[in-house]
């Protein structure tokens, strides 16, 4: 009788109160899509200890499959979407099993717990069931729990990428790209005219996309209020079927003499030279943008980085105005 009551209570704990139906999964948490497993809150396990158990158990099952390891250093064996209790415990279990794992989180690590009120106590219920996996769980304040989890991520060198919300990138027949996704906490995102988005093309190589505010499908979200940082404006950037040219040669950002605009160089053929000048560049070449070089005497850094040695810089430097 007590066993039946316990199973009945566990069923209540493991049932989420959601406005839409939960995905159907089998005993190993695999969905109707082969190779796609669903654990954690999405399956109705809002109790942290049960979510952790699901994350651990699903990796135990995956690791036993004959095709669990890709045997290719360029491929991941497991991709974990979500860095909550289930996702982190799954990533830890994958690391322990020797599976190459990537974690993707749209917001922050343990975002639900991050949003709890300050000092909120986190319970490790049910107390008679020990937690599974390497993720630490005990009764603690929200802050203590998050500190321990971040420490575990660092110690185990988990590859967890937060605020990584790009959902889809597809190449179009004309060579352009369609971008779908969202990125939070973009400085000046509410009024910037240009955003640089880094994404992987064809699943192989990363590329930088120059996304203009005026492109169809590009918008910004509401201002994100931050305590004590009133001088810093941040908003989300939303990409909904945003069409981006394949390159910048035929856009206004091409200031070389091949550019389509009226403001451009007369002889310079390189495009990127107008955005930055690397360390060790030839100072006799044209300056950045339309600014005039100072006539003051100065000694540039010889270091390949921004680090300098005492006494390395001499003379004076004046700031010229834009023409």
Instruction: Give the tens place of pLDDT for each residue, 43-75.
Output: 776 689 999 999 999 999 999 999 888 888 778
- Residue ranges, CATH 2.40.110.10, the chain: 166-244
CB atoms within 10 A of CB 122: 19
Contact criterion met (CB below 8 Å) for 178 and 199: no
Residue 181 in this model has a pLDDT that exceeds 70: yes
DSSP one-letter string for 299-312? ----SSSS---TT-
Per-residue pLDDT at 5: 66
Per-residue pLDDT at 91: 95
Q: Of residues 172 and 275, which shows the higher confidence score?
A: 172
143-148: long-range contacts, CB 8 A cutoff, minimum separation 24? 143/118, 143/119, 145/110, 145/113, 146/109, 146/110, 146/113, 146/114
3-state secondary structure 44-98: CCCCHHHHHHHHHHHHHHHHCCCCCCCCCCCCCCEEEECCCHHHHHHHHHHHHCC
Contact criterion met (CB below 8 Å) for 166 and 181: yes
Which residues, 6+ apart, have CB-to-CB distance to 242 below 8 Å? 178, 179, 180, 211, 215, 216, 217, 218
Which residues, 6+ apart, have CB-to-CB distance to 142 below 8 Å? 113, 114, 116, 117, 118, 119, 120, 121, 122
Residue 156 in this model has a pLDDT that exceeds 50: yes
Per-residue pLDDT at 290: 39
Specify the DSSP element, H or E, that contains 187: strand 177-187
Q: How far apart are the C-alpha atoms of 138 and 213, rounded to whole Å?
A: 46
Per-residue pLDDT at 287: 44
Q: How confident is the model at residue 95 (pLDDT cuts 50, 70, 90)?
A: very high
What CATH number belongs to 166-244? 2.40.110.10
Q: How far apart are the C-alpha atoms of 272 and 259, rounded to whole Å?
A: 12
% of the chain beyond a pLDDT of 70: 68
Q: How confident is the model at residue 210 (pLDDT cuts 50, 70, 90)?
A: confident
Tokens standing for residue 106: 């749209």
Q: What is the arithmetic mean of pLDDT over 8-32? A: 65
Q: What is the arithmetic mean of pLDDT over 237-261? A: 75
Q: How confident is the model at residue 141 (pLDDT cuts 50, 70, 90)?
A: very high
Q: Which of 17-21, 157-161, 183-187, 260-264 has the lowest mean pLDDT?
A: 17-21
Instruction: Give the tens place of pLDDT for each residue, 293-311.
Output: 556 665 655 555 555 555 5
Q: Is 52 exposed, middle or buried (0-12, 13-18, 19+ CB in 10 A)?
A: buried
Q: How far apart are the C-alpha atoms of 208 and 204, rounded to whole Å?
A: 13
Q: How confident is the model at residue 19 (pLDDT cuts 50, 70, 90)?
A: very low
């Amino acid at each position: 009788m007590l066993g039946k009551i316990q199973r009945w209570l566990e069923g209540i704990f493991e049932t989420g109160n959601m406005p839409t139906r939960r995905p159907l999964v089998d005993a190993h948490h695999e969905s109707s899509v082969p190779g796609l497993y669903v654990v954690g809150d999405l399956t109705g396990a809002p109790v942290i200890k049960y979510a952790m158990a699901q994350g651990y158990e699903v990796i135990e099952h995956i690791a036993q499959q004959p095709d669990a390891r890709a045997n290719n250093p360029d491929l991941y064996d497991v991709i974990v979407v979500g860095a909550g209790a289930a996702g982190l415990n799954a990533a830890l279990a994958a690391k322990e099993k020797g599976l190459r794992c990537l974690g993707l989180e749209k917001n922050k690590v343990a975002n639900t717990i991050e949003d709890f009120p300050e000092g909120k106590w986190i319970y490790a219920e049910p107390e008679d069931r020990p937690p599974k996996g390497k993720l630490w769980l005990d009764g603690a304040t929200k802050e203590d729990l998050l500190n321990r989890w971040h420490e575990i991520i660092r110690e185990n060198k988990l590859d967890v990428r937060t605020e990584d919300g790009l959902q889809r990138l597809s190449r179009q027949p004309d060579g352009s790209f369609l971008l779908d996704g969202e990125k939070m906490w973009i400085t000046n995102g509410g009024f910037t005219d240009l955003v640089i988005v880094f994404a992987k093309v064809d699943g192989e190589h990363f590329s930088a996309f120059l996304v203009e505010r005026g492109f169809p499908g590009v918008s910004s979200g509401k201002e994100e209020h931050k305590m004590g940082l009133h001088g810093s404006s941040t908003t989300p950037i939303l990409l909904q079927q945003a069409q981006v040219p394949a390159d910048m040669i035929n856009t206004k950002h091409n200031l070389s003499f091949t550019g389509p605009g009226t403001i451009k160089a007369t002889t310079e053929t390189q495009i990127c030279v107008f955005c930055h000048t690397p360390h060790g560049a030839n100072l006799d070449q044209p300056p950045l943008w339309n600014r005039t070089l100072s006539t003051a005497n100065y000694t540039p850094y010889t270091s390949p980085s921004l680090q300098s040695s005492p006494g390395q810089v001499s003379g004076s430097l004046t700031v010229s105005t834009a023409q």
